[in-house]
Structure 1
Amino acid sequence: MKAIVIEKYGGKDQLKEMELEQPVPGESQVLVKLHATSVNPIDWKLREGYLKEMMPFEFPIVLGWDAAGIVEQIGENVKGFKKGDEVFARPETTNRGTYAEYTLVDDHLLAFKPKAISFEEAAAIPLAGMTAWQCLFDFGKVKEGDKVLIHAGSGGVGTYAIQFAKHKGAYVITTASGKNADFVKSLGADEVINYKEQDFEKEVENVAFVLDSMGGEIQKKSFAVLKKGGRMASIVEKPDEELAKEHGVTAEMVWLEPNGKQLEEIAELLQAKKVKSIVGETFPLTEQGVKDAHELSESHHAKGKIVIRMEQA
């Protein structure tokens, strides 16, 4: 099968096309013929070598951890899925990711693709969507009536976080550039802070929850907008414990835990059209296509999710 791999850490020029053996499913695994995957910051951070101690994988490494496609083969203990089913998933993080024509997924991580959406839209959801969900609800305990601040609302995680929080009945404030203000409002944002012209910490106060996808100074300034007892989830760096104590809040870095049942809940919202998947740009599964997709992701200016489409699909 065709795959895009890295054989050593480095820049996007390390991305190479390679023929690999088609994987064989274990007892509780499903082989998925991929139609689409997507790019997330973890992809190029691992490519650069920033995560090599946390994820000491053997080369060659196939990046990518979003899957949308059709079941090709099932392991002997798999129940509930069969060849031909349209599915999507956030597979376990291994050195055999989803920049490939086929990938293995443990059956408990798999969910049926909503019929109302395309494979490209499905591929955009698992990692970013479940990250937003787990930050807001598993950690943040966001409920109806809460005021929340979501940084970078037009990005991959932000687009889902705005919609999930709004669906729950929260009052949603987000930061975005002026050109994306109407876009994030269309997703449900009640208030938009133009980060190029406004200091969010002067505009916002008494927030129950902050979703930090920026880190650095933005994360530090975010402590000041939280009310006592508020919560901050960061998806980029561990928050300062002393600052959290000083402001009387709880702040943690949240790592996604793949979860098929949670993905099913999100799928129901998508099927009912209560939430939509935002695909920004789509690239082919070629060396150049994946390099271009990484370049866009690293720019931090992508709108919605960056999707890679398999030529065979």
Structure 2
Amino acid sequence: MKAIAMTRAGLPSSDPQSLVEIDLPRPEPGPRDLLVQVRAVSVNPVDTKVRANSAQVPRVLGWDAAGVVEAVGREVSLFRPGDEVFYAGAIQRPGSNSEYQLVDERIVGPKPRTLDFADAAALPLTAITAWELLFDRLGVAEGGGEGQSLLIVGAAGGVGSMLTQLARRLTGLTVIGTASRPETADWIRGLGAHHVLDHSRPLAAELAAAGLPPVHLVASLTHTDGHYAQLVEALRPQGRLALIDDPKALDATPLKSKSLSLHWELMFTRSLYGTEDMVRQHALLARVAALVDQGVLRTTVGERFGRITADNLRRAHAFLESHRARGKVVLEGF
């Protein structure tokens, strides 16, 4: 089968050898695996980070896909051949940039019926991350949050685009997003944010200038180390700070006087450690698909980069590394 892989470690996306087409044997499903014929993928910052830092070669990247189940393992009970599915996969297994991929059924959802494969492929990783961050890490109850506020730093990106929708549609939170350009501010408002602040300016001052009090919750999705002091200032006592990025260092001491709590979210944790509640990601994706089909949530495609080829994937990696992306980058078809 055709696959796009990194075969040399540490190459920049501008190098034609950073991602190349290779031929691999079609894999056989394990007991809980689905063998999926991949129809579309999206590219996330994790793809560029793994390409730049992993020493494992050859390695097929890609942690977002939509496709059709080709075959199933002997213990599979949630899907059957012919089902249309979407998923983010597991960081320790070969990725979705191949014609066929194995994925554990417990982290797969039924593809939204109202979306094509490319629009569906934009959703899994960011939907899982946003859902777990909001409901599992920050502890907001679905339908709850009335009288509380959530500040989302980097709300126009992939995770932010989903988090804004989930918080606005499924909770009573006041949703405050941040952006630094008119087009991304408009994007965030279109997704349902009540207020938009400029994160190129001090955030505590931006809140005050907008007539907004300190917030109860913060989801810091990018540049946490640069905004950290401002986030501590912007949070009210006993607030909660959640983050998904990779600050070089984070001193928890400034959180003490306000009794602030710190929460990490990594959507790969359940699959990486084979947790007992892994199947919650299946249920989560099924719920997201239903909400999309009901018109409550929408896809967050920002850019379409054509077919799944080595050239187009290199372009997508370069785009994510050099642009402040709005929504997601998708590719479809081998």
For the aligned pair, the TM-score class normalised by the smaller chain equals: over 0.9
Q: In the alignment, what sits opposite 1:144?
A: 145
Deviations 1:32-72 (A, max 9, x none): 001111111111111111xx4xxxx7421101111210011
The secondary structure found in structure 2 opposite 1:255 is coil
In the alignment, residue 268 of structure 1 is paired with which amino acid?
Answer: A
Listed as ranges, the matches of 1:63-82 within 5 Å are 63-82=61-80
Q: In the alignment, what sits opposite 1:231?
A: 240
Question: 1:240: Cα distance to partner?
Answer: 2.5
Mapped to 2, the partners of 1:111 and 1:149 lie a distance apart of 29
Q: In the alignment, what sits opposite 1:203?
A: 206
Does 2:106 align with 1:108?
yes
1:175 aligned to which of 170, 173, 178 = 178
Mapped to 1, the partners of 2:265 and 2:323 lie a distance apart of 20
The secondary structure found in structure 2 opposite 1:180 is helix
Listed as ranges, the matches of 1:253-292 within 5 Å are 253-256=264-267, 257=269, 259-283=281-305, 284-292=307-315
Question: 1:300: Cα distance to partner?
Answer: 4.1
Question: 1:213: Cα distance to partner?
Answer: 1.4
Q: In the alignment, what sits opposite 1:247?
A: 258
Question: 1:192: Cα distance to partner?
Answer: 0.7
2:94 aligned to which of 88, 96, 108 = 96
The answer for unaligned runs of 5 or more in structure 1 is: none
Mapped to 1, the partners of 2:123 and 2:57 lie a distance apart of 27
Is the 2:215–2:235 Cα contact (8 Å) retained in structure 1? yes
Mapped to 2, the partners of 1:307 and 1:246 lie a distance apart of 44
Mapped to 1, the partners of 2:67 and 2:30 lie a distance apart of 18
Between 1:129-138 and 1:249-258, the stretch displaced more is 249-258
Mapped to 2, the partners of 1:243 and 1:18 lie a distance apart of 50
Mapped to 1, the partners of 2:22 and 2:187 lie a distance apart of 39
**TM-score, normalization by structure 1:** 0.92
Deviations 1:239-259 (A, max 9, x none): 431122233201132211452
> Do the aligned partners of residues 220 and 3 (structure 1) sit closer, same or farther apart at CA in structure 2, a change above 3 Å counting?
farther
In the alignment, residue 103 of structure 2 is paired with which amino acid?
Answer: V
Question: 1:171: Cα distance to partner?
Answer: 0.5
Does 2:318 align with 1:301?
no
In the alignment, residue 215 of structure 2 is paired with which amino acid?
Answer: V
Mapped to 2, the partners of 1:86 and 1:252 lie a distance apart of 34
Mapped to 2, the partners of 1:178 and 1:80 lie a distance apart of 44
Listed as ranges, the matches of 1:213-224 within 5 Å are 213-214=221-222, 215-224=224-233
Deviations 1:93-129 (A, max 9, x none): 2241011111111111111111011211211111111
Q: In the alignment, what sits opposite 1:19?
A: 23
Mapped to 2, the partners of 1:232 and 1:147 lie a distance apart of 12
Mapped to 2, the partners of 1:221 and 1:206 lie a distance apart of 11
In the alignment, residue 102 of structure 1 is paired with which amino acid?
Answer: Y
The secondary structure found in structure 2 opposite 1:247 is coil
Is the 1:165–1:172 Cα contact (8 Å) retained in structure 2? yes
Is the 1:231–1:251 Cα contact (8 Å) retained in structure 2? yes
Q: In the alignment, what sits opposite 2:277?
A: none
The secondary structure found in structure 2 opposite 1:246 is coil
Mapped to 2, the partners of 1:107 and 1:132 lie a distance apart of 21
> Do the aligned partners of residues 300 and 220 (structure 1) sit closer, same or farther apart at CA in structure 2, a change above 3 Å counting?
farther
In the alignment, residue 325 of structure 2 is paired with which amino acid?
Answer: A
Q: In the alignment, what sits opposite 2:210?
A: none
Identity of aligned residues (%): 36
In the alignment, residue 96 of structure 1 is paired with which amino acid?
Answer: P
Mapped to 1, the partners of 2:27 and 2:194 lie a distance apart of 46
Q: In the alignment, what sits opposite 2:190?
A: 186
Is the 1:61–1:95 Cα contact (8 Å) retained in structure 2? no
Mapped to 2, the partners of 1:182 and 1:260 lie a distance apart of 32
Is the 2:9–2:56 Cα contact (8 Å) retained in structure 1? no
Is the 1:44–1:298 Cα contact (8 Å) retained in structure 2? yes
Please provide the CA RMSD for this pair.
1.6
- Number of paired residues? 304
Is the 2:137–2:264 Cα contact (8 Å) retained in structure 1? no
Mapped to 1, the partners of 2:168 and 2:63 lie a distance apart of 27
